Structure 1
Amino acid sequence: MNKEKKILMGFRDVYNKMVWLNKDKMEASLKGYTSSEVHCVEYIGKNTDPNVTKLAEFFYMTRGAMSKMTKKLIQKGLIESYQKSDNKKEIYYRLTELGKTIFQIHEDLHQEFQERDKAVFDQLTKEQFDSMLRFVEQYSRHLDAEIKKLDKEMKSE
């Protein structure tokens, strides 16, 4: 098996293990909410003036699918919509008190998981961190370019 395949398989394996380890605690603590809903709440909680377009772009979803998601989150009482006084056309979202609670539970769980895994990261040198970060950023830029290419192809059809 070549090195590229080993790295990609390693990424998948690590990701799948993290998901498996975190799943039960996440589901118990955030009962009644899907992973997609919680991650949407997380995005809204961390970003200024999020709207359907920004959400759709971030989650690689259509605006229609994201619109359905925001309606569901409004119905569940996690978010509310608002408009700016200088722009009555655009609709933005913010967390309600319940949404802030869910956001905080999720953040606390991530902090707990990060503490659990801290021993591994504490062993890394600055050079190892920097090298891995450079790789992840480079690979991410490559994937962004591929997504843009695919998007252009789909729009031209």
Structure 2
Amino acid sequence: MNKEDQVIKGFRDLYNKMVWLNKDKMEDSLKGYTSSEVHCIEYIENNRDANVTKLAETFYMTRGAFSKLTQKLIKKGLIESYQKSDNKKEVYFKLTPQGKVIYNIHNDLHKEFQERDKAVFEQVSEEQFDSVLNFVDKYNRHLDAEIKKVGIVINSE
């Protein structure tokens, strides 16, 4: 296996192990909510003026799929829509108090998982971090360009 394959396999293995380790605790703590719903809630809380277009671009899904998802979250009382006085055409979303509860549970779990894995990150030098971050950034930019070639515009904020 060449180094490129090793890197890709390594990223996949890391991701799959993190998902596997975190899955039970996430599902127990966020029972009744799908991963898509929780990550939509997270995005809305962390990004001002979130709308269906921004959500769809961020999660590489269609606007129709996100429109359905946001309607579900509205029905569950987790988000609410609003419009700006200067733009009545665009619909934005914000969390309700109940949505903030779900966001906080999810955020606390991520902090717990970061604490679990802290020992590894403490052993990594600034130079090593910079090297990995540089690689990830280059690969992301390459994939953005490839996605753009097939006609999908990604908002990489």
Q: Smaller-chain TM-score range?
A: over 0.9
Per the alignment, residue 97 of structure 2 pairs with: 97
**Matched residue type, 2:96:** T
Equivalent position amino acid for 2:16 in 1? N
2:48 aligned partner, one-letter code: T
TM-score for the superposition, normalised by structure 1: 0.95
SS in 2 for 1:32: coil
Q: For 1:119 and 1:93, how far apart are their aligned partners in 2?
A: 37
* Partner-residue secondary structure (3-state), 2:151: helix
Equivalent-residue separation in structure 2 for 1:88 and 1:16 (angstroms)? 43
Matching of residues 10-49 of structure 1 within 5 Å: 10-49=10-49
- TM-score by length of structure 2 reads 0.95
Q: Which residue of 2 aligns with 1:57?
A: 57
Match of 1:109 in 2: 109
Structure with more of its chain in helix, by fraction: 1
Taking the aligned partners of 1:116 and 1:100, their CA distance within structure 2 comes to: 24
Other-structure match for 1:136: 136
Q: Tell me the secondary structure at the aligned position of residue 116 of structure 2.
A: helix
Q: Give 1:47 deviation, angstroms.
A: 0.3
Deviation for aligned residue 1:86: 1.0
Counterparts of 1:150 and 1:109 in 2: how far apart (Å)?
36
- Aligned residue in 2 for 1:2: 2
Number of residue pairs the alignment of both structures matches: 152
RMSD, aligned CA = 0.7
Q: Identity of paired residues, percent?
A: 74
SS of aligned partner of 2:92: strand
- Shift, 1:5, TM fit: 0.2
Runs of 4+ in 1 over 2 A off after TM superposition: none
How many Å separate the matches in 2 of 1:37 and 1:54?
A: 15
SS in 2 for 1:115: helix
| Partner amino acid, structure 2, of 1:6 | Q
Counterpart position of 1:66:
66
> Unmatched 5+ residue regions in structure 1?
153-157
Deviations 1:35-60 (A, max 9, x none): 00000000000000011111111011
